[in-house]
Chains A and B, each alone.
Chain A
């Protein structure tokens, strides 16, 4: 999208999955869109609203050029920006381990994973830009604390087992959240989610495979894995957001089909998915209330400490300050580079103009 994306990236990219530079194109080109049938802009708002409501009701997608209510646009920008910020801040907890990874194979896997997260962030910022947002502005909002990112990334990563557990739990929870978003009513976001989910499924498997390997290692390694599981379980359950009866924005997002399932439904799905995986791995999930409920056909589980979630969201988690500081420093220290690139581009334009005028 007009930025200096490195040439040849697609051909020499090493990640666990293929990526091409042209991915941005696939996101903004309407696939199941309603653009062709959109009413002209001069029609009265009630009719535009009716058309929008019909599109939603028929499970068709809203595309960038379609009319949409301001609230829908604002909600989407907020959600997509928070998602993009989460990808970028989410590089930090694991990124710390790239230089320390204990084998070259794990180093390459982790390096590629963190690179994927940067790619997801770029992709999502581009999706937000299709709604009229500006990436630089969104970045400012993050750095000034006016927009949030997922609270999960405010927890520390003291051991290498954390890399595996983040892949298993955090990417797993992200997938639970995001797979339904592949059917989100906003086309560019839905298409972004398809790609992101594919890559995150690799990350989850890689994380789980690291843990399987560690569990076959020394007693010390097994203890590291259990310790990481104990620390990440409850924060991971909180990734689905507050309980449904305390989630003020959910109803409207469900009606707009920006969201497809409630927080509690997704949390239940994650628990049901994870319990057999924990058994296979040979770790204990730290919840004495966790048990299978034959009647419900689901696992019962304990209540997360919602006051902790509130504390972490409001900025008082273990690593909030550190995460924001790193992002702010990178942004500020990179300012001269971005300014130089812009100045060079402007000079080049001017030289071309002068060249063609001469």
Chain B
């Protein structure tokens, strides 16, 4: 084997334009390759844009909370897994924002949605924006949100919009893994030690007020309840109690936690107008 390594060629072999393939290798499949981006007849573009925006916001805000675990996870395997889930959701957000920009008439790109809107323009459900909490809270939130999103994505895979349908079909595979990961940990923590059991109970109590909002948005209550019932039973935990709180993230009503989350997410981008990254 030779030591004359390939890295010597870093500054060679690519044009001034900065070909992205050069830096990122090949094999990056465009999940929307070949999908027709025209809005089909009979699809309400305004409604489609609103759907994409709301689902994109759920994903981006969730990915941001998951990114906060970086270098803080309880074990290295969990560093890898939580990043994996965060990356999946970030990828979903990017596709959904791109679709939103195509159909809402604004022609905006993904970054305009992520970086140039304020908290009251975000449409994510409030459960996604609640502060990180401990590992038990993150697991319970992930279990609830991934079960809810998966049930909805399974329906959206049959959407008359070919782009949303393709995004949902790809997302179903990812969300199935997210739900499994969360369910496995919920059982471990519910069953593990008195301490972990106590923390799981507290986390289930904490999400209670934010569950009603999820089922106002999408009619998937039965599926989600069935998953939660199965997991909590296996974990020896009670079902979370529904305690609806007024307001809804889907209408732009948010907790006080969203604005600081966005300030962190958007700060650098907004501080450098005209910059390219």
> Nearest chain B CB to A6's CB is how many angstroms away?
4
Question: A220 and B195 in contact (CB under 8 A), knowing A7-B180, A111-B67, A334-B73?
Answer: no
Residues of B within 8 A of A212 (CB): 18
Assess the B196–A102 pair: CB atoms within 8 A: no
B residues in contact with A114, CB < 8 Å: 70-71, 83
Q: How many A-B pairs with Cβ below 8 Å?
A: 233
A54-86 interface code vs B (CB 8 A; 1 in, 0 out): 000000000000000000000000000000000
Residue-wise, chain B 67-101 has the 8 Å CB interface mask toward A (1 for contact) of: 11011111111111101101110110110010000
Contact, CB under 8 Å: B275 / A175: no
**Is A290 located at the chain interface by the 8 A CB criterion?**
no
A14 lies within 8 A of B11 (CB): no
Cβ-based interface call for B265 (8 A): yes
A22: chain B residues at CB < 8 Å are none
Bin the interface of chain B by size.
Answer: 35 or more
Contact A6 B272, beta carbon cutoff 8 Å: no
The reply to whether B25 and A88 form a contact with Cβ atoms under 8 Å apart is no
> A216: which B residues are within 8 A, CB to CB?
18, 276
B27 lies within 8 A of chain A by Cβ? yes
Asked if residues A101 and B94 are in contact (CB atoms below 8 Å), the reply is no
Question: CB < 8 Å: which of A102, A115, A277, A330 contacts B115?
Answer: A102
Interface size class of A (residues with CB under 8 A): 35 or more
When distances are taken between beta carbons in the complex, the residues of chain B under 8 Å from A337 are 74-75, 78, 135, 189, 196
Is B268 an interface position by the 8 A CB rule? Answer: yes
Check if A339 sits within 8 Å of B192, measured CB to CB.
Answer: yes
Main secondary structure of the interface of A (DSSP, over half): helix
Per the 8 Å Cβ criterion, residues 1-34 of A in contact with B are 3-9, 11-18
Assess the A112–B114 pair: CB atoms within 8 A.
Answer: no
Partner of A330, one of B7, B71, B191: B71
Q: Which 6 A-B pairs have the closest CB atoms?
A: A334-B74, A340-B192, A340-B196, A209-B23, A337-B74, A115-B83
Which A residues fall within an 8 A CB radius of B?
3-9, 11-18, 88, 91-92, 95, 98-109, 111-112, 114-115, 118-119, 121-122, 125, 160, 172, 175-176, 179-180, 182-183, 197, 201-202, 204-206, 208-210, 212-214, 216-218, 220-221, 260-261, 273, 276-277, 279-281, 326-327, 329-330, 333-344, 347
New A-B pairs, 20, CB < 8 Å, besides A175-B7, A333-B74: A4-B77, A7-B177, A11-B173, A14-B87, A14-B91, A95-B70, A111-B86, A121-B76, A202-B24, A209-B23, A210-B277, A214-B277, A216-B276, A273-B7, A279-B11, A336-B196, A337-B75, A340-B192, A340-B196, A344-B191
